[in-house]
Amino acid sequence: MQSDHRPVIILVRPQMGENIGAAARAMLNFGLTEMRLVAPRDGWPNPKAVAMASGAAGRVLDHVRVYPTLAEAMEGVEFAFATTARGRELSKPVHSPQSAMEVARSHQGRVAIIFGPERAGLENDDVARANAIVTVPVNPDFPSLNLAQAVLLMGYEWGRVEMPPEPAPHGRRPVGEMLADRVEIERLGDHYEEKLTEAGFFFPESKAANMRLNLRNMWSRLVLTRGDVRILHGMLRQLTRR
């Protein structure tokens, strides 16, 4: 998607420069680059924010725009989410991070995600300026999220669809190599079971059957190429050579 379709991150009255920098890092992890600040407590620019942003994420801070009020920070925004665990007395749709970002992706205009100050979060006057609320389902015995964590959660829900596909997971077939079939894996398991039996590994006898079962189950979980199987046979032959 075009960069101007990515959500704008608005931090309302942030209190610590370190949290602003950490939020910038969380944004860039998932391809979000536009941050707006409303009345930051310690002013702007803030060297502590730059230090925390660390490297590439500093470019997010290079283009930060600062506004005196949230109303002014909504410039160009057509739809806004307020992240809060409160404000439900205001009649607004309430979303999880996942459903909120589904709405954001379907929206044709500019979308903003609004985060409140670290100590108390958004006030109802702030929430009233949003179209909808986002509430993170967390442990009710400890519902506190810091600012950067909240930004990271929203960024992840945006980025997991918008960002490039993830790398191939470990265990996927190496390029150009054939995977061993189940018969080859069975023969490898037989070879190891034979040699381990000769070495007295399956002891005591009362546990031997379960040990064999667990070993066989281990082989079945491994993703092995035919080359891997040959190496494992060869290793065992060398180790057991008299």
**Segments making up each domain of the chain, as ranges:** 3-162, 182-240
Residue 189 tokens read as 């398991």
- Average pLDDT in the chain: 87
Cα–Cα distance, 186 to 188 (Å, whole number): 5
Whole-angstrom CA distances from 181 to 100, 184, 187, 226 are 45, 5, 10, 8
* Helix 97-106 with 147-162: angle, nearest 10 deg: 50
Per CATH, the architecture of 3-162 is what? 3-Layer(aba) Sandwich (3.40)
Note if the pTM is more than 0.85. Answer: no
Query: CA 163: distance to chain centroid?
Result: 12
Residue 66 — φ and ψ, nearest 5°? -110, 135
Check residue 28 and give its pLDDT: 92
Reference 184, options 155, 211, 224; nearest CA is: 224
| Other beta carbons less than 10 A from residue 157's beta carbon | 21
- At residue 91, the pLDDT reads 82
The whole-number pLDDT of residue 100 equals: 95
> How high is the mean pLDDT in each 10-residue block of the chain (242 residues)?
75 95 94 95 92 85 95 93 77 92 90 92 90 88 86 94 62 65 89 93 92 89 88 92 76
